[in-house]
Amino acid sequence: SFAQVAQSSRDLLPSERSTRPPPVLNPEGITLVKPKNENVDNFETNKKLITELLRKKDPAIRLRSFGKIYGGGLKLVSASLDDAKVIKDLLCDTEDNDLHSSFEFSIPPRRSPQIIVYNVDKKVEPDVFKKGLLAKNLFLSDANNTPKFKVEFNIPARNKELVHWILTINPKTFHEIMDKEGLYFEFSRLRFSEFIGIKQCKKCFLFGHTTKQCKQETPRKCDNCGENWSEKHRCKKRQCINCTVSNSKYKTTHGTNHNCLDPMCKAYLKQKEFIRKRTDYGL
């Protein structure tokens, strides 16, 4: 959504254009546990139930992390796609009828790569932009003239007359596109780069949700020091809230003397790495 991706302003600078992303040799596995009714909407209870069940069925199973999804559901992160399939099979293979009536188990499709195309006239409609790209960049369609991309949405540029467009790319075509110097549209060559949209709340500044989805009861935080913000607020010191949380929760050793919107923030770069590991680059 626009709200989700608008948080990722750090990715919107053409000067930071990268070529090929680093190859993902060992993509992570994801297994989703989705509640079927409101009687099982407590995340912590569900986490304990699923953890104990997996430990009982196979003590060798290892999970890298748990994520919270809508309705108290779980996102189980494992080391590989094969591990994710094993976990799903173990959960589906149980004879507990209550478990099957309460939860749905699935492996989500991997994310398709995206690019951001910079500085397009904001008056250009999505369909016109799509047709214009296909007309000037023949490699963007197959032999049957079927597009190898999807126009998703646009983001305002610094110039109020321009926008940046986000395109989802066919994984098998992604690296061919990234080898190009630009994409041609009408009489212009447009710059682009890989786009990785990271959800970051603008209230608490934590990752994984947008401002609308924020359930934090505390007041809005300051992006510079992590303390509660007010009109009279003055920062005592600069401290990244995400690197501080990471050091406390995951025993990392990230430096914290930076703004939580810093493009070189270690916690932010880790989020980009997570998304890349869950992206299908067609390799």
Task: Walk along the chain (283 residues) and give the pLDDT tens digit of each residue.
Answer: 443 444 444 555 554 444 455 555 577 899 999 999 989 999 999 999 999 999 999 988 889 888 888 889 999 999 888 999 999 999 999 888 889 999 999 999 989 999 999 999 999 999 999 999 999 999 999 999 999 999 999 999 999 999 999 999 999 899 999 999 999 999 999 999 999 999 899 999 999 888 888 877 778 999 999 999 988 899 999 999 999 999 998 899 999 999 999 999 999 999 998 898 889 988 7
C-alpha span between 140 and 152 (Å, rounded): 15
117 Cα distance to chain centroid = 18
**Residues written for the chain:** 283
CA torsion angle 76 78 83 87 (round to 10): -20
Q: What is the pLDDT of residue 121?
A: 97
How many C-beta atoms lie closer than 10 Å to residue 236's C-beta? 8
Q: Cβ contacts of residue 117 below 8 Å, gap of 6+?
A: 164, 165, 166, 167, 183, 190, 191, 192
Q: What is the pLDDT of residue 12?
A: 55
Residue 111: strand, helix, or coil = strand
> For residues 197 and 11, is the Cβ–Cβ distance under 8 A?
yes
CA Rg value for the chain: 21
C-alpha span between 132 and 118 (Å, rounded): 15
Q: For 198-240, what is each residue's pLDDT tens digit?
A: 989 999 999 988 888 887 777 899 999 999 998 889 999 999 9
Domains along the sequence of the chain with CATH: 29-106 (3.30.70.260), 114-194 (no CATH), 211-273 (no CATH)
Angle formed by the axes of helices 81-92 and 43-57, to 10°?
A: 90
For tokens 């000067």, the residue is 15
Burial group, residue 185, by CB count within 10 angstroms (0-12, 13-18, 19+): buried
Q: What is the pLDDT of residue 215?
A: 78
Q: For 144-175, what is each residue's pLDDT tens digit?
A: 999 999 999 999 999 999 999 999 999 989 99
**Model pTM?**
0.76
168 Cα distance to chain centroid = 13
* Partners of 250 in the β-ladder: none
Q: Which two tokens stand for residue 240?
A: 């990244």
* Partners of 69 in the β-ladder: 73
**Integer angstrom CA distances of residue 98 from 41, 58, 101, 102, 171:** 14, 20, 5, 6, 39
> Which of 200, 224, 279, 254 lies closest to 9, judged by CA?
200
